Amino acid sequence: MQPGEVHGVDMEESQIEMARTAAAAGGHDNITFHVGNVYELPFEDNYFDVAHCHAVLMHVPDTQTALKEVKRVLKPGGIIASREMIADSSFIEPAGEHMPGAWATFIKLLAANGGHPQMGKELKNALLQAGFADINASGSFDYFDTAEEISFLHAFISDWFFMPGVVAAATQYGLATHAQFDQWRVEIDQWKDENGAVGALAFGEAISRKP
């Protein structure tokens, strides 16, 4: 039945608020948002035709529990589509001398938190293990080129990476020093002002079916 029923789930209230605002701005009134955990979705079995998750499995420690829970709420024949980051293949260019260390620290932080920084590469295997079928895997970049896009990526990286909690975690666990963070901030600010600045976040994608 048109326009269909859509449900959005995230464990953070702030993300749900952002999603509600975006949905309202887009004029969508068929979406219900839930603060919830992907390990325990608030839906009955065999409910959905399609499930989509974007940049979530990379943060969820137990990939198989999450995928099996999504499988539970999909109808037989239902589709799961997922897009997850490949941190190793993401970059900013021209990169300052010390920026590779910043990417390495981001990867270690994500992993230390139980996440999967290269999840985009691992999707096909993870879906196979969870019992999904007809898997079609691919990849793509979110590519940043115009001044507006560079400014967005600069803010996106800076807002997260230089948060006091992130700096504290990285320094406490011996992954980086305050001096390194200061250096990285200088270099990412320089990158933003380069005429030749580009940046890319790499993603692996996969679509598959519940048998």
* CA atoms of 136 and 164, how far apart (whole Å): 40
Q: Which of 6, 15, 142, 149 binds ligand SAM (CB under 6 A)?
A: 15
If one asks whether residue 10 binds ligand SAM (CB under 6 A), the answer comes out as yes
Closest CA relative to residue 194, chosen from 59, 86, 108, 93: 93
- CB-nearer residue toward ligand SAM: 31 or 56: 56
- CB-nearer residue toward ligand SAM: 68 or 180: 68
8 A C-beta contact, residue 140 and residue 203: yes
Outline where DSSP puts E strands in the chain: 6-10, 31-35, 48-54, 74-85, 91-93, 133-144, 198-209
- CB-nearer residue toward ligand SAM: 160 or 173: 160
Q: Which of 1, 12, 44, 97 binds ligand SAM (CB under 6 A)?
A: 12
Under rule CB under 6 A, how many of the chain's residues touch ligand SAM?
Answer: 12
Query: How near is the Cβ of 200 to ligand SAM at its closest, in Å?
Result: 16
Closest CA relative to residue 162, chosen from 208, 117, 106, 202: 106
8 A C-beta contact, residue 185 and residue 101: no
- CB-nearer residue toward ligand SAM: 39 or 190: 39
Interface mask (CB under 6 A) for ligand SAM, residues 27-66, using x and -?
----------xxx--------------xxx--xx------
Encoded tokens for 141: 């970049």
Q: In the complex, which residues of this chain contact ligand SAM (CB under 6 A)?
A: 10-12, 15, 37-39, 54-56, 59-60
